[in-house]
Amino acid sequence: MANLQASIRREVEELFPEIERHYRYLHRHPELSYREENTSRYVVEFLETEGIPYRKNIGGYGILASIRGEKPDNGKTIAFVADMDALPVHEKNDLPFKSQTEGVMHACGHDSHTASLMGAAKLINRHRADFGGRVLLVFQPGEEKSPGGADLMLKDGLFDECRPDFIVKQHAYIDLPAGKVAFQTGTVMASADEVHIVVRGQGGHGALPHELNDTVLAASNIVVAMQQIVSRRRNPFNPMTLSFGKFIADGATNVIPDEVTLAGSLRCMNEAERRKMLLLIPQIARSTAEAYGCTCDVDLPDGYPCTVSDEEITERVREMAADFLGEACVSEYPARMTAEDFGFYTQLYPCCFYRFGVSPEGKTTGKLHSSTFLIDEEALKTAAGLFAYIGIEANGNYGFRQPTGTTYTPSCR
């Protein structure tokens, strides 16, 4: 094990210029969700050069690559996930590899995710003789935009030919210095559902309220009623938020419009509470609108489920991280109300979602989804090296067991 650690550390240092080149290319050429044609082609060209088998165009521009170990033992099948899409953000960093696509930027670190998995793939492929089982590499489109690339890939048969024992994803974490990683178990991120409401009535002159249906007042009370759902109808032990960031009443100082548009986001840390809220929201919205003589349409498109880190799988991966990086480089991150389409995987398979630090030591940089977000490129060594170590060593000294309650058997032995 110690020899493997030393070998991967040495090799990732040697490989770093190539990983950095991948990262800078991807940062320079970002693509929005479901438009990752060039990014997908770039990854495919890399896989072909490395002689790694793959399937492409899964759920859009998604790719599944596979590396089979050469040891004769019946090892585990492990899947790693990296997302490829960027955000509609105008980059303000002054860089030689600044985004060349106007209004589009890798402001969430997905360029580092993809480049790191490419680096890990090369390292794992070199070490095929050191492990049994199989490592699956998922390069995923559309994490940033509903319905979610994870859901689309799964529905398109991502794991139909080869089912993983467990799945691991890592995400750039600006609140931790480069070289460190953080773990958490249980529900680590919330579900996310969009709420779209249109209130309709007979508008008119604001000075003659008795001759109209006040759509603005009805919509305002719907927003208030929604907050009362959260405060009075949910289990207080289950965190939840329901926020409305869009309220369009296109009237005038003395004109009540016929129509008001609302849009918001429901975040839940419990799937049962989420299902309950998705039933209550239309009921309360319609009854409130009716009280003011109005009607309303409610649209709740399918969102992302909660992201759950399996306790046993996460503990084993955390142990490997501590062995590879040192215990001082491993910590915990707090659960939060942001969301990830990785939740689709966690609803079906045992999973681990951890974060790797990307902040330059002693410096400040932009937050996630901001126009000045930028990683310390040293973080690429940690991300690629740890993925490689997990992929090679998971079948060795860490005692992975079939998680309690699972009934499937991986089908790609």
Strands 240-248 and 259-268: antiparallel
Give the pTM.
0.91
410, pLDDT greater than 60: no
Q: Across the chain, what does the average pLDDT equal?
A: 93
pLDDT tens-digit map of 245-303: 999 999 999 999 999 999 999 999 999 999 999 999 999 999 999 999 999 999 999 99
What pLDDT score was predicted for residue 328? Answer: 97
What pLDDT score was predicted for residue 399? Answer: 53
Q: Nearest-CA neighbor of 226 among 271, 270, 267, 269?
A: 267
Q: Report residue 407's pLDDT band, with 50, 70 and 90 as the boundaries.
A: very low
pLDDT tens-digit map of 5-48: 899 999 999 999 999 999 999 999 999 999 999 999 999 999 99
Higher pLDDT, 401 or 108: 108
Strand partners, 247: 262
Which domains are delineated in the chain? 2-189+306-393 (3.40.630.10), 191-299 (3.30.70.360)
What pLDDT score was predicted for residue 310? Answer: 97
361, pLDDT greater than 90: no
CA–CA dist 177, 163 (Å, integer): 34
Which residues touch 204 (CB under 8 Å, ≥6 apart)?
211, 212, 255, 256
Strand partners, 196: 263, 299
**Identified catalytic residue from 11, 31, 83, 85:** 85
What pLDDT score was predicted for residue 406? Answer: 44
Map residue 201 onto helix, strand or coil. coil
For the residues 99-118, what does the mean pLDDT come to?
Answer: 97
Query: Is residue 143 annotated as part of the catalytic site, yes or no?
Result: yes
Task: Say how many residues make up the chain.
Answer: 413
CA separation, residue 174 to residues 11, 28, 358, 370 (Å) = 26, 20, 5, 12
**Identified catalytic residue from 143, 144, 151, 376:** 143
What pLDDT score was predicted for residue 364? Answer: 63
DSSP state of 360: P
Higher pLDDT, 244 or 407: 244
For the residues 401-409, what does the mean pLDDT come to?
Answer: 46
411, pLDDT greater than 80: no
Q: Report residue 395's pLDDT band, with 50, 70 and 90 as the boundaries.
A: confident
Q: Report residue 234's pLDDT band, with 50, 70 and 90 as the boundaries.
A: confident
User: 106: which 2 tokens?
Assistant: 């890798």
Q: Which string of b and e fits 156-193 if b means at least 16 CB within 10 Å?
A: eebbeebbbbbbbbbbbbbebbbbbbbbbbebbbbbbb
pLDDT tens-digit map of 303-356: 999 999 999 999 999 999 999 999 999 999 999 999 999 999 999 999 999 999
Task: For the chain, give percent helix, strand, coil, nearest 5.
Answer: 35, 25, 40
159, pLDDT greater than 60: yes
Q: Nearest-CA neighbor of 307 among 343, 341, 276?
A: 343
What pLDDT score was predicted for residue 397? Answer: 54
pLDDT tens-digit map of 292-313: 999 999 999 999 999 999 999 9
What pLDDT score was predicted for residue 329? Answer: 97
